[in-house]
Amino acid sequence: MGERYQIHVRVRTKETSVSDNKDILISIHSQWMWDSHIVRNMARLLKTLSKTNLSIYGDEEEIRNYIGAILTVNQDIDGNYYPYRIHVEETPYKTFDGDNNHGWAVVFVDVEGEKLKVQSRFYDTDGKPKSNESLWGDAIDHCKYENWEEANIEKLKKMLDSKLFNNTEDDLQSIFNTQVEHYLKKLEEKNQEEGYVVRPILRVKEKDDHEAWSKTDEKLKELGFNVTGYNC
């Protein structure tokens, strides 16, 4: 349903060092985020994070809520604000496991005291790197389709700052996915020790919503669930 996109974030502070595998890993699902909306919303997120002192935020919940709030406050190019659907997932997942039709972004935030380093890489629906030129190509096509004024197109173009977008050559996706795999393995081991098992998330990809819902029904019934309704 909708124009679907994901943002995957890793936050590393002194308190969440890689040595004890306590990096904060966050997966965020959005609907009605595509083309020009990707540029505008990601510009707001990256710019705000680059000016944020995350050392004053004490725990994972505060950081997750903060990042979700930046994305939620959706100011359009006309200066007005519009709601759209943002969901900060309870458990991170690999980039390829998201339900999307416009790709995803991976953002790394490294914090030491008041110093902050924000890196980003953008990917298409096949997981291949998506350049700033390609991001702008999608955005300008949407602008032309919506008959944007030239002044607003220029405003949007300035948001696609190479100091914020795709500002590293590192494959952040590969690093994030490896850490998520390790995190989920450790979580399952912990929960098994405590007497229960982590159940996998059921994700279904089909050409349209009806086919996806039908397949979801079938899979849930195969697993023995009594399906009365669910949210997508």
Q: Tens-digit pLDDT profile for the chain (232 aa)? A: 568 999 999 998 766 544 445 789 999 999 889 999 999 999 999 999 999 887 776 678 888 999 999 999 888 888 888 888 899 999 999 999 988 899 999 999 998 777 789 999 999 999 999 999 999 999 999 999 999 999 999 999 999 999 999 999 999 999 999 999 999 988 888 877 776 654 556 666 666 667 777 777 787 777 777 666 555 5
* pLDDT of res. 155: 93
Indicate whether 216 and 169 sit together in one domain: no
Residue 139 lies in a domain: yes
Q: How many CB atoms lie within 10 A of CB 190?
A: 10
For residue 206, what are the domain limits? 202-232
3-class DSSP assignment, residue 17:
coil
- Rounded CA-CA distance 5/104 in Å is 6
Indicate whether 145 and 214 sit together in one domain: no
Q: How many CB atoms lie within 10 A of CB 82?
A: 10
Residue 217 lies in a domain: yes
Indicate whether 57 and 147 sit together in one domain: yes
Instruction: Tokens for 97, please give them.
Output: 């496991």
- Rounded CA-CA distance 161/8 in Å is 19
* pLDDT of res. 141: 94
Indicate whether 158 and 66 sit together in one domain: yes
Our count of domains for the chain comes to 2
Least Cα distance to 105 among 82, 79, 131, 70 occurs for: 131
Q: Angle at Cα 194 formed by Cα 188 and Cα 199, nearest 5°?
A: 40
Indicate whether 146 and 80 sit together in one domain: yes
Intra-chain end-to-end CA distance of the chain, in Å:
8
Indicate whether 86 and 34 sit together in one domain: yes
Instruction: Tokens for 116, please give them.
Output: 């902050």
Q: 42: Cβ–Cβ under 8 A, 6 or more apart, which residues? A: 7, 105, 120, 122, 165
